[in-house]
Amino acid sequence: MLQPRPDPVDASPATFLFLQGLASTFFSDLGTALAARGHRVRRINFCPGDWLFWRGGSDHYRGTQDAWGAWLDAYVDREGVTDIVLFGDCRPYHAVARAVAGTRGLRVHVFEEGYIRPNWITCELGGVNGHSSLPRNAAAIRAAARRLPQPGRAMPSTGDMARRSVWDVGYNLANICFPYLYPRFRSHRPTHVAMEYAGWIKKFVHRGRSRREAARCNAIYNAVGCDYFLLPLQLDSDYQIRVHSPFFGVEGFMDRVIKSFAETSQAPTRLLVKLHPLDAGLINWRKFARASARRHGVSERLDFIDGGDLPGLIAGARGIVIVNSTVGMLSLEMGRPTLAVGTAIYNMAGLTHQGDIDGFWTDPTAPDMALMADFRRVVLHRTQVNGGYFSKASIARAVSGAVPRMEAALPDALVAAARTIRAGGAGDGRLAEVY
């Protein structure tokens, strides 16, 4: 059944326009749920992979990135779009969409991996990470927390790595095999997916050795009661690094940290560098770290691992140095001194070390745990949804939590219009077809 376009306009429900998501059925299921609630649902595909993971009608953008903004502006007028839904607000197409939304007064619902992990995903109005509207000072956090109840316990949301891998391969295989369907599409990923997969294959071959090395390092650290700081790396391609930090990439950040550690830390304190678990191995960060340590004269006090128990490593460290990773949330929850050198939702006085990096090695500041409890409460209530993106149960839980959060941002008239349509039988659970 086609969802009718209500008339007059002031009786219309919200119109949700979906842009790019993950290689997952989450957006498709979310669109179905919103349509069943009586809302109008639209979708724009940019590549074959987008089309593959969307059930129902959709439109297709086959123009250039330069022409995208004007095309979207006209589309918003034609379809009466009120809300835009997307994953990751820094992708080139999405950054333009946020700008268009800002000029048109549209709401933007941004999804991302959870600020708090595991068991949570992020669903935030307007923007995430450096674009988040969360309070950025202790007084505002405490005031907001006083108005909120204690959050409930999260249901476990285990990921299905096999399904995630199959979906990722399917998404990228569709783009590789049918590029002529969207000839002007340009991915936000900085390297070709074939190179990434080659890196993963190589990493898989050597994973046994990497795990043994990490376990041996952990055992030695525990046996001797090693005094160390932890440097968990982020992905070089992460927009957290590329947009929300003063660094051009991981190499510059790592060298800055190692240089400071060499100049101001005291022996026998060590620096443990940990590779990001989703790093495909295209860049030899171990080689870069050791070269930097040699250049700054601390080769004998630096270790590098690919693997290991992150919570255990955080618990044993004197402090953690990051750019703006979600590892920071975990380390603060565990009460460990944390230095964030980029824009992060938790980087504020009372939580993170506010002095410069040189002073961190000798006098790291621990978080105020009462403030951290308030901050966690605010983050959970305003931005987090229990669930995940890569297993059927987790997706269903995430959809059931995301729909009321998204509807809470709508004016009462739009929700009432959707309720009227639903009561009249127009919302039958299927996606609205794009005209």
pTM strictly above 0.75 = yes
CB of 68 within 8 A of CB of 61?
Answer: yes
- The letter for the amino acid at 326 is T
pLDDT of residue 151: 84
Render pLDDT for 79-91 as a digit per residue (tens, 0 to 9).
Answer: 999 999 999 999 9
pLDDT of residue 153: 82
Sheet with strand 384-386: strands edge to edge: 59-60, 40-45, 15-18, 83-87, 107-113, 120-125, 384-386
Average pLDDT value over all residues in the chain: 91
Domain layout of the chain by residue ranges: 9-162+379-423, 228-376
The whole-angstrom distance between residue 20's C-alpha and the CA centroid of its chain comes to: 14
pLDDT of residue 199: 80
Render pLDDT for 375-414 as a digit per residue (tens, 0 to 9).
Answer: 999 999 999 999 999 999 999 999 999 999 999 999 988 8
Residues in the chain: 435
Render pLDDT for 269-289 as a digit per residue (tens, 0 to 9).
Answer: 999 999 999 888 889 999 999
Show Cβ contacts of residue 418 under 8 Å, excluding neighbours closer than 6 positions: 13, 14, 37, 38, 39, 427
pLDDT of residue 204: 80
pLDDT of residue 425: 62
Helix axes 68-79, 92-104, angle to 10 degrees: 50
**Equal CATH topology for 9-162+379-423 and 228-376:** yes
Show Cβ contacts of residue 65 under 8 Å, excluding neighbours closer than 6 positions: 92, 93, 96, 184, 186
Q: What is the mean pLDDT of residues 105-115?
A: 97
pLDDT above 70: residue 433: no
Q: What single-letter DSSP state applies at residue 364?
A: P
pLDDT above 50: residue 8: no
Q: Return the CATH fold of 9-162+379-423.
A: Rossmann fold (3.40.50)
Q: What is the mean pLDDT of residues 342-370?
A: 96
pLDDT of residue 2: 38
* CATH code of the region 228-376: 3.40.50
pLDDT of residue 11: 54
- Beta-ladder partners of 132: none
Tokens linked to 144: 């907001």
Euclidean distance between CA atoms 365 and 41, whole angstroms:
48
Query: Which position has the higher pLDDT, 243 or 195?
Result: 243
Euclidean distance between CA atoms 409 and 143, whole angstroms:
21
Q: What is the mean pLDDT of residues 14-25?
A: 97
**Phi, psi values for residue 163, rounded to 5°:** -65, -40
Percent of the chain with pLDDT over 90: 72
